[in-house]
Amino acid sequence: MKKIIIAVVVVFLTFSIIIYAIGYHGPRDFPSEMCTLPSPEEVVAHARSLSGTPYDPLMGKWRNIGARAGFIVCSDVPNIAYGLSGFSLRRMLKTDYEKNSSAYDTRSANNPRNPHFHRRARNLYACLKSNGRYIPPDGTPHVGDLVFYTSTSQSYVSHVTLVTAVGEHGYSVMESAPWPIFAQETSGSAPIKRGLVLVGFGRILPVQAPGRTGQPAIPGTPYAIRRSTKELRLVSPELPDECVVTAARKQIGKTIRYDPGYQVLKYPNGDVAEERGVCTDVVIRALRAGLGWDLQKLVHEDMKKNFARYPRKWGLNGPDKNIDHRRVPNLATYFKRMGYSQKVTKDVAAYRPGDFVTCIVPPNLPHIMIVSYPTRPNGRPLIIHNIGDGAREEDRLFEFELTGHYRLSAKPSRTR
């Protein structure tokens, strides 16, 4: 047995040295799609393309020669699947660490300067859990979720897989592990049967995320084995909620007027002139630019099928794609129907960047705001909105009576 193990190691090292010697020195950069989130189908397609890729038994040691030869470890599956889809988990971790380093185990130089930082399952887990994206083991996984495991001999998350399908009898995952050596799609219970302990799930994509606009990062391009990675030098920025805040902030100074007038819009992706709009236009533009979501189309399609479930305040007998998505009660209804509702509270800790909050401005004007980042000693976040003088970022979260709180990446509290 010892001779067999030695022979396998020798063959592996010989192959790795040959690959390295002929000039391959790591993966090329993945292209960027800015903040646009990929669809679950796109992520799964790229994850499945890894099937048959051998596991790296050196796990990054010896100057990462295994990855240079095209071998991967467990965390490369989500890193590569999301990276090829245009969203950088490496950049996500780096951005989060800069704002939230206390959530990570920083011993042994575990920080973004370490080239293996984003390839450690425990760091992916820390990032998603500290940002409210953790689902306990008894929760329901969704396609695109990460699945985290530990072992009875370890005190930290040591293994990760990616959910590729969910059915009545369980879920399947794409996994890279020392056994069975080659990456494969398998039952979600397979790692548990090998003795690992399920820690829970991590959610990157919003639940029930509508189909996005735009094309995949690499349309129709199959995965090449040598793109697995010493470093995933990706350039897509930020967490999904940060994309929304970034897109909202870009409206400040450009949208300078409040104009509630009715206008005929093109469909889909219709908009009024950039320098004008109302509070809902701030939300519509932030989601369109930040995540690729077209609320005009999403709300219109849902209203066509479920018109009776929406408010009947305007005397209409059917949906109007020019104005429906620009009315706060309709957006609130759509968010509720999609299961994005959160508890309305005065607790500042309950509000996160990228959340949407509705309120009533006296005497009876519905209003919607985007939650930004806290700048006050008490942790109260600013909000981005247009309440009369164009898009602005202000400290006015609790100034008016709150009527709704919504988080697109939340686990649904109810779907109707």
pLDDT for 355-385, tens place per residue?
Answer: 999 999 999 999 999 999 876 667 789 999 9
What total of structural domains would you count in the chain?
2
Is the domain of 269 the same as that of 390? yes
Position 183 in a domain = yes
Question: What integer pLDDT is reported at residue 336 of this predicted model?
Answer: 95
Domain boundary among 230, 253, 281: 230
Is the domain of 78 the same as that of 210? yes
Is the domain of 395 the same as that of 299? yes
Domain limits for position 392:
241-406
Is the domain of 363 the same as that of 293? yes
**How far apart, in whole angstroms, are the C-alpha atoms of residue 402 and residue 400?**
6
Assign 306 a pLDDT band (cuts: 50, 70, 90): very high
pLDDT at 220 over 80: no
Higher pLDDT, 19 or 328: 328
E strand or H helix at 367, and its extent? strand 365-374
CATH assignment at residue 127:
3.90.1720
Higher pLDDT, 237 or 39: 39
Domain boundary among 230, 249, 282: 230
Mean pLDDT of 213-225: 28
Is the domain of 107 the same as that of 152? yes
Is the domain of 58 the same as that of 158? yes
CATH assignment at residue 281:
3.90.1720.10
Among residues of the chain, what percentage have pLDDT more than 90?
A: 53
**What is the edge-to-edge ordering of all strands in the sheet holding 170-175?**
134-135, 197-202, 146-150, 159-167, 170-175, 184-187
Is the domain of 205 the same as that of 310? no
Position 415 in a domain = no
Assign 242 a pLDDT band (cuts: 50, 70, 90): confident
DSSP string for residues in 263-280: ----SSS----TTEE-HH
Is the domain of 160 the same as that of 245? no
Is the domain of 362 the same as that of 272? yes
pLDDT at 36 over 60: no
**How far apart, in whole angstroms, are the C-alpha atoms of residue 47 and residue 79?**
9
Chain length of the chain: 416
Is the domain of 193 the same as that of 259? no
Tell me the pTM. 0.53
Higher pLDDT, 217 or 179: 179
Least confident of 32-36, 155-159, 188-192, 345-349: 32-36
**How far apart, in whole angstroms, are the C-alpha atoms of residue 339 and residue 409?**
10
